[in-house]
């Protein structure tokens, strides 16, 4: 091969493939030097102390070779030019040039592909399924293949060879065999990108996706807000008769999607996030980042969701810890008596045997006055004879409650009437009775009142 023809071919390659002329020239010089050294058939001992350097003139393509002497450290101590044979400058040079050019072309294409996809991390690409196994799937993106690992596959999905699939680019790696693109079908950002592709208002910035909570293959929730007055963010994402959200659901193979309106008011946002359940009240505790949600009794299971899924996704979407209670549960807790601080103990007052055996004196300890609820051991020892006949026993519940007559509603120390309902444990209800009734306001106890009246 003539030198001028070689230089012309390299210049043409630079224009067509975008490969630097200097890069190919340096590669040719290194490959020709290695080929010449192999052709010399030097003994192993001499090969360690001698080397070859080949130069190519970038203008004329003239080839020159130099034999170098090396010291023990591998440094060049001297070199002299050697004459090149016609066979080497012809056949061997042509074969070497061909191998180097092909290798440089492959390297350049890999680098171009890497640079193209390295800047696309976070984009959604469409690929054709080439292979699917329990460990990974391979997608053909055209110039390169993408890897869909097991961890990034949706558990409920299976892929057929040749079908088209959208995936989210998670990472682009540089390897010796070229760029490796890792994609995902479970990433929350995939949901955002798919909505941006289907909803022009999101692509134009009129509607913004504020938060995403996703359980891939099962259910997702997104919170959207409008940046333009008069634009309904939820309606824009859902589309006419659900046409827009349906396209995203189809791409995700039937994954259910709830679109809710975002709000900077935590109580309102939490209530929206629990849709489709109806929420009656939300109580926010800023210190513990907890939201207590009260829902109607018939909405409790819907608010919690199957295996707690709805409540779990709402907590992820809002960033709040959510406790859900029904109205009846909240009412029972509200009506339950709060513990009262115990009175300070008084020194016992000496009393005559007659006084202590016939009446409940004013000098009795607080535990005897308050009954079993105070937890004192002396409460059960109060005898029924201690009070005048016909006077109801002073108590709040416990063992002494059974001594109250069926027709005698008991009162506490403040004179309030106690509920006469009997609990499943056999004890009396400790709630105060409603005005004009012998029972408290709990629905089950009201039913006992109706049965007693009937």
Please answer whether residues 214 and 272 qualify as being in contact, where contact means their C-beta atoms are separated by less than 8 angstroms. no
Q: Report the pLDDT averaged over residues 394-398.
A: 35
Report how far residue 89's alpha carbon sits from residue 152's, in angstroms, rounded to the nearest whole number. Answer: 54
Q: Where are the CATH 2.40.50.140 domain residues in the chain?
A: 124-184
Q: Which CATH architecture has domain 3-118?
A: 2-Layer Sandwich (3.30)
Query: Mean pLDDT, the chain, as a whole number?
Result: 77
The DSSP annotation for 176-193 comes to TTEEEEEEESS-HHHHHH
Look up tokens 């984009």; give the residue: 123
Q: Report the pLDDT averaged over residues 360-381.
A: 34
Q: Where are the CATH 3.30.300.20 domain residues in the chain?
A: 265-334
Report how far residue 224's alpha carbon sits from residue 209's, in angstroms, rounded to the nearest whole number. Answer: 4
DSSP secondary structure letter of residue 89: I
Report how far residue 303's alpha carbon sits from residue 299's, in angstroms, rounded to the nearest whole number. Answer: 6
196 vs 393 pLDDT, higher one: 196
| Residue 114: count of CB within 10 angstroms of its CB | 19
Query: Beta 178-184 vs 145-149: how paired, if at all?
Result: parallel
Look up tokens 């103990």; give the residue: 345
Please answer whether residues 144 and 178 qualify as being in contact, where contact means their C-beta atoms are separated by less than 8 angstroms. yes
Please answer whether residues 211 and 223 qualify as being in contact, where contact means their C-beta atoms are separated by less than 8 angstroms. yes
| Residue 239: count of CB within 10 angstroms of its CB | 15
Query: Which pLDDT score is estimated for 351?
Result: 42
pLDDT digits (tens, 9 = 90+) for 42-97: 666 666 677 888 888 888 878 888 888 877 777 877 888 888 777 776 777 778 77
Q: Where are the CATH 3.30.1480.10 domain residues in the chain?
A: 3-118
The total number of residues shown for the chain amounts to 454
Query: Which pLDDT score is estimated for 393?
Result: 33
Query: Which pLDDT score is estimated for 107?
Result: 80
Residues 331-370 as b/e (b if ≥16 CB within 10 A, e otherwise) read ebeeeeeeeeeeeeeeeeeeeeeeeeeeebeeebbbbbbb
- CATH superfamily of the domain spanning 265-334: K homology (KH) domain (3.30.300.20)
Query: Which pLDDT score is estimated for 28?
Result: 82
Structure tokens at 415: 């004179």
CA 230 to chain centre: 32
pLDDT digits (tens, 9 = 90+) for 171-200: 888 887 778 899 999 999 999 999 999 999
Residue 398: left (phi > 0), alpha (psi -120 to 50), or beta? Answer: left
- CATH superfamily of the domain spanning 124-184: Nucleic acid-binding proteins (2.40.50.140)
pTM for this one? 0.58
Beta bridge partners of 81: 66
Query: Beta 50-56 vs 63-70: how paired, if at all?
Result: antiparallel
Beta bridge partners of 136: 149
**Distances from the Cα of 326 to the Cαs of 52, 210, 271, 295, 423, in angstroms?**
87, 29, 14, 5, 21
CA 146 to chain centre: 24
């Amino acid at each position: 091969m003539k030198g001028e023809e070689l230089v012309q071919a390299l210049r043409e390659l630079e224009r067509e493939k975008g490969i630097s002329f200097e890069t190919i020239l340096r590669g040719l010089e290194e490959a020709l030097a290695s080929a010449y050294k192999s052709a010399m058939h030097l003994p192993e001992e001499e090969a360690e102390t001698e080397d070859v350097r080949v130069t190519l003139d970038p203008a004329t393509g003239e080839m020159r070779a130099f034999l170098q002497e090396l010291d023990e450290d591998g440094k060049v101590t001297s070199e002299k030019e050697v004459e090149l044979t016609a066979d080497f400058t012809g056949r061997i040079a042509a074969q070497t040039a061909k191998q180097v050019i092909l290798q440089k072309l492959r390297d350049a294409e890999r680098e171009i592909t890497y640079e193209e996809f390295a800047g696309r991390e976070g984009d959604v690409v469409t690929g054709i399924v080439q292979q699917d196994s329990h460990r990974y799937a391979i997608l053909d993106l055209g110039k390169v293949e993408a890897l869909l690992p097991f961890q990034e596959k949706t558990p409920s999905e299976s892929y057929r060879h040749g079908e088209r699939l959208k995936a989210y680019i998670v990472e682009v790696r540089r390897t010796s065999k070229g760029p490796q693109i890792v994609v995902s079908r479970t990433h929350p950002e995939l949901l955002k990108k798919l909505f941006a592709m289907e909803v022009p208002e999101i692509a134009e910035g009129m509607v913004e996706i504020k938060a995403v909570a996703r359980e891939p293959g099962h259910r997702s929730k997104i919170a959207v807000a409008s940046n333009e007055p008069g634009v309904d963010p939820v309606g824009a994402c859902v589309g006419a008769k659900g046409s827009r959200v349906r396209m995203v659901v189809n791409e995700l193979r039937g994954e259910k999607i709830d679109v809710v309106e975002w709000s900077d008011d935590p109580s309102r946002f939490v209530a929206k996030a629990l849709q489709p359940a109806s929420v009656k009240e939300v109580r926010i505790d800023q210190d513990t980042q907890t939201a207590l949600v009260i829902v109607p009794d018939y909405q409790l299971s819907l608010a919690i969701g199957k295996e707690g899924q709805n409540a779990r996704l709402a907590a992820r979407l809002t960033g709040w810890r959510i406790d859900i209670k029904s109205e009846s549960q909240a009412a029972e807790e509200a009506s339950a008596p709060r513990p009262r601080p115990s009175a300070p103990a008084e020194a016992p007052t000496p009393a005559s045997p007659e006084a202590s055996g016939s009446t409940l004196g004013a000098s009795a300890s607080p535990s005897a006055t308050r009954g079993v609820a105070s937890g004192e051991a002396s409460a059960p020892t109060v005898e029924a004879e201690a009070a005048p006949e016909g006077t109801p026993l002073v108590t709040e519940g416990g063992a002494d409650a059974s001594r109250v007559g069926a027709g005698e509603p008991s009162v506490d120390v403040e004179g309030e009437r106690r509920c006469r309902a009997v609990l499943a444990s056999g004890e009396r209800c400790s709630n105060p009775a409603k005005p004009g009734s012998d029972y408290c306001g709990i629905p089950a106890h009201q039913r006992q009142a109706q049965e007693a009246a009937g």
